[in-house]
Amino acid sequence: MNTKSILTQNAHTLPFWRQPVSLLALMVFGMHMGFATWGALLNNFVHERANFDGSDLGWLQSVREIPGFFAVAVIVVLWFMREQILAVVSLVMLGAAVAVTAWFPTFGGLLLTTFISSLGFHYYETVKQSLELQWIPKDRAPQTLGWLLAIGSAGSLIAYGGVAISWKYFGWDYNNLYLVSGSITVLIAVFCFLAYPRFHGPTIQNSTLILRKRYWLFYALQFMAGARRQIFIVFAAFMMVERFGFQVHQVTVLFLINYLANMIFGPIIGKVVYKFGERNALVFEYFGLIVIFAAYGGIYIFEWSVVFAAVLYVLDHLFFGLSIAQKTYFQKIADPADISSTAAVAFTINHIGAVVLPALLGYIWLYSPAYVFVVASGIAAISLILSLCIPRIPSINNETIFSKIKA
């Protein structure tokens, strides 16, 4: 076990594989290995083994988002545990819960395993965002985050490829797939704990709850991003299973295409954010999402084909990559000491809508799936308006287009 502590600015003296960005990359890879398998199998597993309908799935996803809603509690955990250690512990929780998912094919059992895996996932994501913004220099953040996006997509690609091949050609069942992928995540987390020194950034982080008025736009963007994410995770994927009858291997192939696209375009997305700025990147993202969500609704109204639906699904997922612009926007406007605390607060804000929305929209889905995507288009439109409030060159004291007016 390596307990040596080292400043991130001195980490360049270490071999590249032991530097902070390599640790971030390995943890991202491990998280995606476990979480991708869980996501790839979920809709078919709950439909075939637990007889879920849209409402049941909505409740499951709402429960999954509860730990994200309470991500602000990370601040308290960090009184006793360093962020790097919490990230590793969270990965172990995620992997262990994924590994045993197939052992509990009931509504109550799935709520339990989903909650535990979600607790690990959301606490990991909270501290990961904080560590990225502390450890990666501002001038390299968009490009580096783009590469981390690609590495995470590679982990998902391997997981989905393993699911598709093992299911179709080797006859593996849900239990085999969940158990193996979850165990891989746990082993990667243990390696990260043993092989890497304890890194710490140049700025001591505030250890109390912080809400600053000048971060209001970042908070608002995070709230809308959480709502947008749930539309995709819950209902766009469920549409492919319920309306078009996709089987496990077909869903998995669709996910493979998604993550292959992200592997290719992740670094390009980072360069786009760096070159054109956060404002333009987010405006482009949300304008595109308005069109995509409206087209989802059109599938039910005009009975468009499965191929069209699959293309929309891939484009929808690809637009997720542009969300790194929200991270780099905050990095530019934040007091460096606020990053850890604000990451936890922002993650909680992100999940306010995410906890309520799936259950509510699940009932709307039972009445008309098209209406769910009408709501989604409205969410994207509001996000577009908020993105227009980002200045072309955000910085401390220039957080929004209104900052200079107030000054």
CATH number at residue 237: 1.20.1250.20
Whole-number Å distance between alpha carbons of 84 and 87: 5
Sign, Cα dihedral of 270, 206, 25, 355: negative
Q: What's residue 205's pLDDT?
A: 79
Does residue 370 form part of some domain?
Answer: yes
Does residue 98 form part of some domain?
Answer: yes
Does residue 207 form part of some domain?
Answer: yes
For 272, residues 6+ apart whose C-beta sits below 8 A from its C-beta are 281, 322
Does residue 6 form part of some domain?
Answer: no
Mean pLDDT of 246-271: 82
Nearest to 57 by CA among 361, 379, 370: 361
Does residue 2 form part of some domain?
Answer: no
Tokens of 98: 């994924």
10 Å Cβ neighbour count for 230? Answer: 26
Does residue 107 form part of some domain?
Answer: yes
Q: What's residue 1's pLDDT?
A: 58
Does residue 18 form part of some domain?
Answer: yes
Q: What's residue 181's pLDDT?
A: 92
Give the range of the structural domain holding residue 399, as residue numbers without chain letter.
12-406
Mean pLDDT (the chain, rounded): 86
Whole-number Å distance between alpha carbons of 248 and 167: 8
In sequence order, what are the beta bridge partners of 6?
A: 199
Burial class, 134, CB count within 10 angstroms (exposed 0-12 / middle 13-18 / buried 19+): buried
First CA to last CA distance, the chain: 52
Whole-number Å distance between alpha carbons of 132 and 124: 12
3-state secondary structure of 257: helix
Q: For residue 70, which phi and psi values (nearest 5 degrees)?
A: -100, 25
109-153 pLDDT, tens digit per residue, is 888 888 999 999 989 998 998 899 888 888 888 899 999 989 998
Does residue 5 form part of some domain?
Answer: no
- Statement: residue 241 has pLDDT above 90: no
% of the chain with per-residue pLDDT over 90: 32
276-306 pLDDT, tens digit per residue, is 999 999 999 999 999 999 998 888 888 788 8
pLDDT confidence tier of residue 17, bands split at 50, 70 and 90: confident
179-237 pLDDT, tens digit per residue, is 999 999 999 999 999 989 888 877 777 778 888 889 999 999 999 888 877 777 777 87
Domain count, the chain: 1
Whole-number Å distance between alpha carbons of 394 and 18: 33
Q: What pTM did the predictor assign? A: 0.85
